[in-house]
Structure formats: C-alpha cells, structure tokens
Structure 1
Amino acid sequence: MQNLDGSIINTSLPQIAGSFGVRPLDLSVGVTAYLVTVAAVLPASGWVADRFGARRVFLAAILLFTLASLGCGLAGTLPQFVAARVVQGLGGALMTPVGRMVVLRNAQKSELLQATALITWPALLAPVIGPVLGGFITTYASWRWNFLLNLPLGLAGLAAVLRFVPALPPEARRPFDRPGFLLSAGALVLLLVGLEGLARVEARPMVPLLLTILGVATGIIAVWHLRRAPAPLVSLSALATQTFSASSLGAGFLYRIAINATPFLLPLLFQVGFGMDAAGAGLLVLAYFLGNLAMKPLTSPVLRRFGFRTVLVTNGVLGGATILACGWLTPGTPPALLTPLLFAAGLTRSMQLTCLNTLAFADIEPAWRSAATTLSGVSQQVSSVLGIAVAAVLLNLASLWRGAAEPGLADFLPAFFAIGLLAAGSGLAFLRLPGAAGAEVSGAVRSSARRGETSSSRP
C-alpha cells in the first residue's frame, strides 16, 4: 500500500492539478509534504514502537495511512490534499519500519531468509508496476481511485495484524532524546528535499544543492551527538556488526542507489528515447517485473548453495552488466534481445535486494533490532531518493554536454553506464566480507555440513 502510493502519484499529477485548477508543477508540494513528514518522523519510529508497543503502533500507522488515503481521494482543493498527504506521511513513517520490526522480533534465524524475502516484495514490485497501474487507473477511472483503493487494503491489513501479530509488551522505557530527534530529523528533511529537488528538471539546482549540503552537515552533527548521548534516540551499536554496516550503509547503500535509479531510467528511455507511449513502455517494463518474480523461488536455494558473499559479489557484477547494457538499447533493438535483457536485469535486482535485506539482520542481537530497523529504514529512504536524483542529474548533465535543452536517446548511455559501474563496483566491494558471513541464516553452514557427511560416508 505504501510503496505503491509513492510510485503511483507521479503518473496522476496532471489530472490532479486539473481537478484543483492549479498547474501540475504546483502539485509538487503534495509530493514534498509527504517526503518531509516521513523524513521527520522516521528517526523516532523505533523509540515510539518501544514506548507504546510495536503491534499498537503498527495498527495506528495502518489506520492513519488508510484514513489519510481517503482524505486524499476526497480532497477538493490543493490545501486539503496537502494536509491529507502530511497525515499519510506520518502513517508511512511508522508503518514500514515498525512492520519490519514486528517481523524481525518474531522470526527465528532459520526463518529470517524466508521472512525477509516476503517483506521485500513490495519494494521490488511497486516501482515497476506502480506507474503502469497508476496510468491505467487514471486513464480509465479517476486519479482518486489511486488513493481510494487503499481503503480495502488498509482494512485487510488491520484485520491481519489483529489476527496474527502477537501483542508483546512495550520495551523498557527510556527518555526521549530531543536533540537527537531534531538533528536527525532536520538532516533527513534537508537531505531528502534537496535530493528530490535535484531530481526535478524544472528546479533551480543551486537551492536543492545547498539543501543537500546542509543536510549532510547536519547529519554529521547528528551522528556525533548519537555516539555521545547517554540515551540516544537511535543507538548506533548495530554499525559495529560488519554484515549490517556493509549491507545497509556501505556497499549495500551504493547498490540500492543503482537499484532505485534503474526503474526510473527505463520508462524514460522507452518514452523519451524510443518515442513510445506510456502503455507500450509499460509492457516492456513488464519483462523487468517478471524477472523480479521469477527469481523469488530461486533465492533461498542459491544462497544455501553459495552463501551471501559469493552471491552478492557475482550477482552484483552481473546486475551492473545488465544495467550498463541497457544504455546501448535503441528503437531498432530486436525484441528477442531486448526482452531477455530486461528479464535478466529484473532477476539480478530481486536477488541482490533480498540478499541485502536479509544479511543486514543476520548477525544483529535481539536488543539491537529496534535501532537497526530504524537505521536500515533511514538508509533505504535516502538511497531511494538519491537513486532517482542521481539518474536525473546524469541525464541532465549529458544533455547539457550535447547542448540540448531536453534529454534525448544519446543521453541515456552515459547515465546507464555510470549506474552500471556503480552497481558492479559495489558488488565487488562485498569481497571484504568473510566467506561465512550470514551462513547461519542462509543455511550455507548446514548445507556444507551435509555435503561433508556425505563425502565422509563414501568408501
């Protein structure tokens, strides 16, 4: 529900603007309002879940998001729509990280891979099917149904939480770190709004660039405070775990930038570069989507056989190669070559994202899972916006180099080339992990032991 909402709204901006009697550019405030609210509340999600109980907060977040979706769908003016988006952002900032926290607290290590693979699906599928679904609903129904469809989904989610999620008692109370909240929230708001501005062609680059720099500087101060505070809003202890730091804030963060840039670039390539309409571009992106689906049944057996390090390195390089190859696509590329390439790119994307999300929590102690979930959520939020911003900036720089006012087909090659190199390089960076990293979760230890027993039993 949340992931689809973020990817659907961009396809409906002209129609929403027409309903409110404003320019489509004015609707950017609706996107920014949601982004700012999520960024401001996200650092406190772990503390709120510990203070009031994860199940209770999860229920409240789903209810808020669902009611706010109704408000968006019924809004008659731009201020009403923006107000509803702010409430949506409040629910969204708590819904995903707290929901992930509920899963991690109740999953044994042997179940972690399967559980993470399931909760990774929305992040894999939404950026691919969201624009297609949003365009279809907006064209053949109304933009309002993009939000009203959240009502049955939200009610089903509430019923499922009440039925299946145990009501665990809140964690031990700890004081609320106000300076840590203001610093971390301020850093995220400045950083994400700045990056979102850089991703918009119509934005003046100096203002969002200044906001991004201020966000980075404030983030450095926030980290300094969190390391020294006696009761920090978010404990940074999880960063001492190599598998977590590598998959969430190291090479994994860089690979997520590439993962988030690719679904942004592909529809633009097909529409701007190939001259296709939205429906035709959506059908091509469907091959990418099918690759994401097809990899799911293979993820666990592959990890059990080869382990996290080998898969992350090999699949990371392969993923970078498929992204780079997309830069050489032209309107004359035969479908027999184009479709398998998109399918392969989807395969590698699905495998890498599931590996990263699982490895992040493979070695995290139970006492650190709340803070680790918050840190991981912040990392994913920043990398999502950063991926789109980097892709947009690369396209704009390439067109400026050619002296063109708008990006064209020739500008996609350097963009895909840079993103592909980033993916491949971050994949190779996982060579620094130990060979047995996350083996208890992947099952590689048990698989190796069984092979050893079989070999020793032979005459």
Structure 2
Amino acid sequence: MNKDSSHTALLWIVATGFFMQALDTTIVNTALPSIAHSLGVRPLAMQWAIVAYTLTMATLTPASGWLADRFGTRRVYFSAILIFVLGSLCCAGAHTLGQLVVARVVQGIGGSMLLPVGRLAVLRAVSSEQYVAALALISVAGQVGPIVGPTLGGWFVEAVSWHWIFLINVPIGVVGMIAVYRYLPLASGNGAPRFDLAGCALLSLCMIAFSLAVDAPTSSHRAAWSLALFVFGLVAALAYVPHARRRSNPLFKLALFGEPNFSVGLIGNLVCRIGSSAVPFLVPLLLQLELGYTPLHSGLMMLPAALSGAVAKRWIAPLIRRYGYDTFLLVNTLIVGASIVAFSLISPATPTVLAIVVLAIFGAANSMQFAAMNSVTLKGLSHEDAGGGNSLFSMVQMLAMGLGVSIGGALVKVFADQSGSAIFGFRMSFVCVGVITLVAALIFRRIEETPMVVSAGQPASTTIPLEAARSSGR
C-alpha cells in the first residue's frame, strides 16, 4: 500500500471511532423513556446512564496519550474499539439500571481513548500542513453522529427495540478493528515517562465528587451530603496544586494557567456547557413525557438543531474576524442562554413550526459557541503546552456535559416535587440552566483580544485551534 492510500485508510479508521463516540452521546437521549420503562425506573433516573459515560471519559482521557506512547498507537486503538464494543453488548444485555450504568462505564473506558488516540495517530502520520485538513475530514463523522443519532435512536425504539441503539456499535466496531489490524502500522511503545497517577486520581476524585454533589442521595440529610461532597471535591482540586509543584512531570502543568485566555476560556466553557448539555437530555424527555410525542417524532424534532449547527460552522471565522472574540462570545452566549430559556415556553399548544425555529436557533448558536470557546481557550498556548492544555480542556468539557445532565435532571425533580406538576418542573429547569449559560457571558467579557492573523515569528497555534474547532464543533 502506498503512502497516500495508507493515510486515507488511517483517516477512515479514526473517523469510524469518532462516529461511534459521537453517535453514542446522542442516540441514547430519545430512547431514555423506553429504556426506563423496560428497566422499571423513572425516566429522570436514567440520567446516570449518561453521566456515568461522560464522567468515565473525563477521568480517563488524560491517560490515553500516555497509553499510546507506552504500548503503541495500534494496540491501544484496537483495544479502545474492542472495549467500546464489549461495553455496548453489555448495555444491550442490561436488565437493571445498575447493570446499565456499569456497562456505560465500560463503554466510557473505550470511548475515552477513541478520539484522542485517533488524533495522535493522524498527527504522527501526516505533515503539519495536512493536519488541519485531515482533522476536518475526520470531524465530518463527528458531525454526522449528532445529526442522525436522535432520529436513529427513536426509529430503533419504535421499529425494533431500544437494545439496538447499543447493538449498532457492534458491526461498526468490528469493521473498525479489522481495519486497524490491517492498515495501522504496528509500533512498539517508545518509553513514555511515568504517568502521574496521583495527579490523575486527585482530579478524578474532584470531578466525581462534584457530580455526586449535584444529585446526592435523596434523604433528610441531602443538603449535608451535597455540601460534604462539594467540599471533598474542592479539597481534592486544591491538593493537586502542591502535588504539581513537587512533581517534575505533572499531569497538567500549573504554568498553563499563566495564559489568561486559557483560564477564562476554561471557566467559561464549564459554565456555558452546563446549560447547553442539559438541553439534549431534557428536550426529548419533555417531548415524550409531557407533550405525547413518539420516540421517532421527538428524534426528528432534534434534527433542526443538528442541521443548523452544521450549517452555522462556516459563519464562525468571518464573524470573529469582524467583531473579535470578546464581542462575538458575549452576544452569542446571550443567544444560547435565551434560546434555552425559550424552551420553557413550549407546551402542547405551541405550534410545531415555532418549536422548530427555537431548536434551529439554539443549534446554530450552540455550534458556533463551542467552536469559538475551543479556539479562544487554546489559541494562546505554546506548542509545548498545547497537548496538556487540550487534555485538560477535554476533561472540563466532559465534566460539564455530565454536570449539565445531573443539574437539569435534579432541577426537574425538585420543582416537580414542590409544585406537583412535571411540566412545571421542566419549564423551571430550562429557565435555570438558561440563566447559568447567561452567566458565562460575564466570564467571556474578561477575554484579552489578540489578532487572528499569524504574522512572522508568531506561533501557528494562534490560528490552528479556530480551524480545528470550527471543523469539529465540539
């Protein structure tokens, strides 16, 4: 096989893994009520099936690069697909919510390595001039997943059974493993430095504690449990600081936070994504449980958001060049937050066209928001710090996704229990997570604007993140 054919095969292999991961984050949402009915639990209790997956990916993503260096890209990527497929089979065979959550953790272990190791394989195989184009090609698979996921999930539930939303990964994964074995070169590990296991454990404990604090066990001491878990998470995060100072090669260098836009972007991403991550979880539940939509109909209703998001990607760079990051993120964050609040107005009497318009506005603004936040957070990092910064950024993204689902679900339960009306619980939840998103606009006002055009002597990292972020939309 010549070099061009080898590169093409590699891109298709990585795109397959990216598609599986992206599909699995969206295909489950429209099937949650049906899965809950089958397992004999309340639909809102299904949030842990999503949180377990995202939280596992968040905690294990930093280790993916080290594993690839230590054991070789081909071995790790093959193992990632295999673990993901086995997790999918376990999900399809689950008979209780506990079993499903454990199976989703197994899926998350495999999913945590799919995209990072795939990107690393592409980075090592193609030239720097071809990397952005290659990443853009791969990202098409990531765009297709969210577009077809909700509709495909709804169709599986109605035409076959919910089990097929997980079984669909099996043939895709088998093809991917065969391609990895055949086309990826076998390279041994290159003696990677010792992995910062203690640092990874501290940050993982921090994320797990924060997630559990949001949805602590229901009891008379719920507030005390939440406070204790939050304090424990904060202590774990603070303990990482002296640990990183003592260690010569910490998981994440503290110097990363010396770049102002990285710190602002990281916090802004966390706050903004909490609101936007709650929407894909709450909207299908609202449509099916309160408005009487079928799973397929609710899946089709999510299409406008995905399609408008794909179309809006081409607007990002021109808008930022014209208005700058600070103005763009300020205005766009307000649009995202306002559109989330607007979901609270959807009722059985709402015209379908109006609901589609709101979903399309949210999808377009949210897609541009992700790309702009990704770019402004990473663009100021040096090439030396880009790897660590990107890994930490990925952890925060996954944490925010889990927190968004947990907070959204917890708010629905609280307001529904207090008012005795489930639809009121959904409405107030949308208002609250929308307001949380609006708070991010204040955070993004602290961005220090820098030119987007690379001049002589400037590092290329100042522009590459925008192009990569625009293509991935994640």
Pair 194,140 (structure 1): closer, same or farther in 2 beyond 3 Å: farther
Mapped partners of 1:137, 1:430: distance in 2? 41
Q: Distance in 1 between matches of 2:465 and 2:203?
A: 38
Match of 1:321 in 2: 338
Aligned pair in 2 of structure 1 residues 355, 399: CA closer, same or farther (>3 Å)?
same
1:366-381 alignment runs, 5 A limit: 366-381=383-398
Counterpart residue identity of residue 245, structure 1: S
Deviations 1:388-436 (A, max 9, x none): 1222233334334xx334522x344433333333323313432322332
**Structure 1: stretches of 5+ with no match in the other structure:** 446-459
Deviates more, 1:320-329 or 1:49-58: 49-58
Corresponding residue number in structure 1 for 2:316: 299
Equivalent in the alignment of 1:449? none
Match of 1:451 in 2: none
Distance in 2 of aligned mates of 1:69 and 1:348: 32
Partner SS for 2:252: coil
Q: Is the Cα contact below 8 Å between 2:158 and 2:296 reproduced in 1? A: no
CA distance in 1, matches of 2:47, 2:438: 33
Give the C-alpha shift of residue 370 in structure 1: 2.9
Q: 1:237 aligns with which of 249, 255, 261?
A: 255
**Contact 1:120/1:354 (8 A) holds in 2:** no
- Residue 119 in 1 paired to residue 139 in 2? yes
Q: For the structure 1 residues 107 and 239, does the alpha-carbon distance in structure 2 shift closer, same or farther, using more than 3 Å as the test?
A: farther
What TM-score comes out, normalization by structure 2 length?
0.75
Cα distance, 1:343 vs. partner? 0.9
Confirm whether residue 429 of structure 1 aligns to residue 443 of structure 2. Answer: yes
Between 6-15 and 84-93, the greater mean CA deviation after superposition: 6-15
1:315-354 to 2 correspondences below 5 Å: 315-354=332-371
Q: Which residue of 2 aligns with 1:176?
A: 195
2:307 paired residue number: 290
> Cα 1:38–1:340, aligned 2, differ >3 Å: closer, same or farther?
closer
After TM superposition, give the deviation of residue 157 of structure 1 in Å.
Answer: 3.8
Aligned counterpart, 1:63: 82
- Deviation readout 1:144-195 (Å, 9 max, x if unpaired): 3222211232244446667887888866632233422332333333333444
Give the root-mean-square deviation of aligned CA atoms: 4.1
What CA distance in whole angstroms lies between the structure 1 residues aligned with 2:260 and 2:136? 19
Offset of residue 15 of structure 1:
6.5
| Higher mean displacement: 349-358 or 152-161 | 152-161
Question: CA separation in 2, counterparts of 1:39 and 1:83?
Answer: 16
Deviations 1:352-409 (A, max 9, x none): 1122223333233333233223212210111001111222233334334xx334522x
TM-score by length of 1: 0.77
Bigger shift: residues 47-56 or 90-99: 47-56
Q: Does the alignment pair 1:47 with 2:70? A: no
* C-alpha distance in structure 2 between counterparts of 1:436 and 1:201, whole Å: 48
Instruction: Tell me, yes or no, if the aligned pair for 1:183 and 1:221 is still in contact at 8 Å.
Output: yes
C-alpha distance 132-443 of structure 1, shift in aligned 2 (>3 A): closer
Aligned residues: 436
1:220 equivalent in alignment to 2:238: yes
Superposed displacement of residue 261, structure 1: 1.6
CA–CA separation in structure 1 for the residues paired with 2:431 and 2:260: 29
| Identical pairs, percent | 32
Residue type of the partner of 1:423? T
Counterpart residue type for residue 239 of structure 1 = F
**Using the alignment, how far apart are the partners of 2:268 and 2:23 within structure 1?**
26
Residue by residue over 1:73-122, the C-alpha shift from the partner in whole angstroms, topping out at 9 and shown as x without a partner, is 46789998676544323212222333344566767489659936963973
User: What is the deviation of 1:347?
Assistant: 0.5
Distance change (3 Å), C-alpha of 1:12 and 1:397: closer
Measure the CA separation in 2 of the matches of 1:120 and 1:243: 28
Letter in 2 for 1:228: R
